[in-house]
C-alpha cells in the first residue's frame, strides 16, 4: 500500500484556497455529517473542546470516506501528544500558542523521525495502515503538514524568524488570544487586532509561507482571504448549530405571535 496523499498540504503549497470548519464535538456522527458538507478541511480541536487525543482516532475514521482533510490541534506543544495524533493517522497538525522560532523548531522535530527529529517510531499503527504502507517511516514526513499558531504580540514580533524555521509548512493566525494579548480581550474584531492579523498574513505570504485563519465573522473572513489567508476556517460547528437553532425557534415564535 502506498503512503496516503495529503491533499490539504498539496493544495496550500500550490496556493489553492481551502475552506474549513472548526469541529468541537467529540461525536463521530457529527464528524461524519460535517465531512460530507463540502468543506476542504475539518479541524478537530483538542485544546478548547471535549475532544481529547483518545477520541481523535474515531473522528478521523468517521471522516475518512469523504473528500475532506482532517487537521488536528493538540492541546499544547507536547511531543508526546503529537506523536499519538500522528500514530492515529493525522497528517495535518496545528500546534497552538507557539511563541518563538525555537518552539516552532520543536514542533517540526515532533513530526519528524530521527535523526532529523524526535518522533517516536512504532510500526502497527493506523498511520502505517497497521504495517501495510511500504517504507512509511522513510516517507511519512513527505505527507505530514506541520502548522504553528501565532496568538500573542510576542509571537507576532518573532513572526519572521518563526516563518523561516526549516521544515515548517504553514502558519495560522489566532485572533481571539491575539486580541487578549493586544489588550482587547473578547474583541477580535477590534481595528487594532484586525490590522495585526492582516499585517501578519501579508508578511507570511511575502515570505512564501501559507497563512491560515479562523473567524465566525463572515466579513472578517472575506477580509483575511483578501489579505492572503489560504486555508481559512469560516465557522465552528457549535456556532453553526446554535445560530440555526436560535433562528428556527425565532421564526416560529414570530409566526405564532
Residues assigned a catalytic role: 48
Residue with the three cell numbers 461525536: 27
Categorise residue 23: left if φ over 0, alpha if ψ from -120 to 50, beta otherwise.
Answer: beta
Tell me the three state secondary structure of residue 20: strand
Alpha helices in the chain (DSSP H): 7-13, 28-35, 53-63, 79-87, 101-110, 136-139, 153-157, 159-163, 175-181, 191-206, 218-227, 237-256
Amino acid at each position: 500500500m502506498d503512503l496516503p496523499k495529503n491533499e490539504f498540504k498539496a493544495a496550500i503549497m500550490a496556493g489553492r484556497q481551502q475552506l474549513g470548519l472548526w469541529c468541537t464535538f467529540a461525536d463521530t456522527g457529527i464528524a461524519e455529517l460535517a465531512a460530507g458538507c463540502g468543506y476542504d478541511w475539518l479541524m478537530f480541536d483538542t485544546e478548547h473542546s471535549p475532544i481529547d487525543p483518545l477520541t481523535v482516532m474515531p473522528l478521523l475514521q468517521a471522516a475518512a470516506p469523504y473528500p475532506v482533510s482532517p487537521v488536528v490541534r493538540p492541546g499544547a506543544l507536547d511531543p508526546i501528544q503529537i506523536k499519538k495524533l500522528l500514530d492515529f493517522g493525522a497528517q495535518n497538525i496545528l500546534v497552538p500558542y507557539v511563541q518563538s522560532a525555537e518552539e516552532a523548531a520543536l514542533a517540526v522535530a515532533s513530526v519528524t523521525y530521527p535523526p532529523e527529529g524526535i518522533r517516536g517510531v512504532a510500526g502497527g499503527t493506523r498511520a502505517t495502515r497497521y504495517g501495510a504502507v511500504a517504507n512509511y517511516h522513510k516517507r511519512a514526513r513527505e505527507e505530514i503538514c506541520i502548522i504553528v499558531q501565532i496568538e500573542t504580540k510576542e509571537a507576532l514580533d518573532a513572526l519572521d524568524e518563526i516563518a523561516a524555521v526549516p521544515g515548517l509548512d504553514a502558519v495560522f493566525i489566532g485572533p481571539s488570544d491575539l486580541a487578549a494579548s493586544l489588550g482587547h480581550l473578547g474583541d477580535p474584531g477590534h481595528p487594532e487586532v484586525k490590522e495585526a492579523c492582516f499585517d501578519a498574513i501579508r508578511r507570511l505570504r511575502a515570505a512564501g509561507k501559507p497563512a491560515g485563519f479562523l473567524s465566525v465573522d463572515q466579513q472578517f473572513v472575506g477580509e483575511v482571504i483578501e489579505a492572503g489567508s489560504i486555508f481559512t476556517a469560516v465557522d465552528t460547528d457549535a456556532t453553526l448549530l446554535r445560530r440555526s437553532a436560535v433562528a428556527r425557534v425565532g421564526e416560529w415564535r414570530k409566526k405564532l405571535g
